[in-house]
Amino acid sequence: MKLRQDNKIYPFLLNNEWKESESGKTIKILSPDDESIVGSVPSMTQEEVDTAARASKQAQLEWADTPIDERVALLHRWADELEKMEDEIGAIIQHEVGKDVSSAKGEVTRTAELIRYTAEQGLRVKGEYMTGDGFPGGGKNKKALVQKVPHGVVLAISPFNYPVNLSAAKIAPALVTGNTVLFKPATQGAISGIKMIEALVKAGLPQGVLNLVTGRGSVIGDFIVTHPSIDMISFTGGTETGKHIAKEASMIPIVLELGGKDPAIVLEDANLDKAANEIVSGAFSYSGQRCTAIKRVLVMEDVADDLVRKLKEKVEGLTVGFAADGANVVPMIDDKSANYVETLIDDAKDKGATVVTTGERKKNLLYPTLLDNVTEKMRVAWEEQFGPVLPVIRINNEFEAIDLERRNKYGLQASIFTNNMEDAFRIADKLETGTVQLNGKTSRGPDHFPFLGVKNSGQGVQGIGRSIDSMLRDKVVVINL
């Protein structure tokens, strides 16, 4: 694979000006594939971040007053500009977060479609009209006009694994509803985010309506989260980060999309070939670095041997290597994450798990590992691996599956594989998750479906319509005749 080096500093955006930080400090971003330099982004000073937040606040009233058709038109132009940059941005996503190029380009296409759908959905936001006589003593002389109005400034904080799609999934609904945005991309993903916003500037972003800040969340995060100009936070990332943000931010609405430990529950009558296909794809695509990755298999003992055999065959058929070469299993985002996955595997092996298939480790490239006979005593049964390891837990009945799911601290999604829809719904009704997939792998799309996690997987709901709702509040005008 050709080593690509780019020593360019990709600037932050303040009032539609691309700027470098007066601190002179930058953060170098290395590719997970080969540690080649993707580029650098400014490590902004607190003063610069403060100016950016205030700029978003300054622009908000005028943006909210902009006719909806103009806000919608901006989003459509943004989608068009993104599509023109698909190859360029796809290549940067691939280089920066180690996603194979077809998935990376697919992320750009998916995002353009998300933006267009959001634009059209944004046109259809409606208020409400109520009369007082609907309530005893209310009287016909009272008329209520219930409007939907923007919160003000939305702080959009996104994770590394979908640096464009999960950012736009916050920015587009915020803009179409008349909010302005302070955008904080994941540092590993910031260049992809900057290129995405370049497309928005090309589309005619009015000055100050979106400001983009760069810098490590651990350094500038608390400052932006508690900044007085911020009126709503939409965060996607790890559970511990989300919990911290929720503690720091107070008195403003917050939507959190966090970690998961999604199970695939396989019943005796499941189509095992389909289940094996969906499970391996769900568990190992992008090396399992997806919140909705299948992160454990709960399989009925009677079919466990057959399923494990099928899983082994498919895991061993996965290509392993560089994202730039289009491998299925790619280097993880960093060494620290790979080390964590290794500790989970070692813990399971020490406690008696069967290693069905595994492989070597080359720096942050971990070969996929399939573990059988995993028990509750093993950390990998409960902790989010966010990497290419899949634990199989054998169960004797559905109640064990439900119990394991309910005792798990996460509640994002679950898959149930069975041909009996009555069994599927009976089990689904008892699972404490945001979504249950029947005979399919756990996944977020399509992007207009509600997407949510409960327990430690989040609060509030995303998905285009729900995201639009989350960026608006009621404002009631009562006419007393």
Residue ranges that bind ligand NAP, judged by CB under 6 A: 157-161, 166, 184, 186-187, 216-218, 221-222, 225, 236-238, 241, 244-245, 257-260, 291, 384, 386, 453, 458
Q: Which residues contact 422 (CB under 8 A, 6 or more apart)?
A: none
Q: Least distance (Å) from ligand G3P to the CB of residue 470?
A: 16
Options 136-144, 149-157, 160-168, 366-374: segment touching ligand G3P (CB under 6 A): 160-168
Residue 257 catalytic?
Answer: yes
How far, in Å, CA of 131 to CA of 311, rounded? 61
The partner in contact with residue 426, picked from ligand NAP, ligand G3P, none with C-beta cut-offs of 5 to 8 angstroms by kind, is none
Looking at residue 205, what DSSP letter applies? P
The backbone torsions φ and ψ at residue 237, rounded to the nearest 5 degrees and listed phi first, read: 170, -155
Cβ atoms of residues 388 and 354 within 8 Å:
no
Active-site hit among 48, 86, 257, 278: 257
As measured in angstroms, the least distance from the Cβ of 161 to ligand G3P is 5
Is residue 422 annotated as a catalytic residue, yes or no?
no
**Helix ranges, 334-373 (H):** 335-350
Report the nearest approach of ligand NAP to the CB of residue 76 (Å): 25
Choosing from 48, 86, 291, 405, the catalytic residue is 291
Q: How far is the CB of 434 from ligand G3P (least distance, A)?
A: 11
Name the H helices within 137-271: 165-176, 190-202, 217-225, 239-248
Distance of CA 356 to the CA centre of its chain: 31
Residue nearer to ligand G3P on the CB measure, 211 or 236: 236
**Is residue 466 a contact point for ligand G3P (CB under 6 A)?**
no
Residue 216 or 363: which CB sits closer to ligand NAP? 216
176, 267, 291, 304: residue in contact with ligand G3P (rule CB under 6 A): 291
CA dihedral 236, 234, 464, 87 (to 10 degrees): -60
Select 172 or 272, whichever has its Cβ closest to ligand NAP. Answer: 172
Q: Binding string to ligand G3P for residues 429 to 448, with x set by CB under 6 A, is what?
A: --------------xxx---
Nearest to 90 by CA among 81, 79, 98, 101: 101
Alpha-carbon distance values, 177 to 71, 113, 225 (Å): 8, 18, 21
Bond preceding residue 446 cis, omega within 30 of 0: yes
Residue 445: contacted member of ligand G3P, ligand NAP, none (CB under 5 to 8 Å, by partner type): ligand G3P
CB of 308 to ligand NAP, least distance (A): 26
Residues in CB range of 466: below 8 A, 6 or more apart: 450, 451, 452
161 binds ligand G3P (CB under 6 A): yes
Total length of the chain: 481
Which sequence positions are flagged as catalytic? Answer: 257, 291
User: Which residues here bind ligand G3P, judged by CB under 6 A?
Assistant: 161-162, 166, 290-292, 443-445
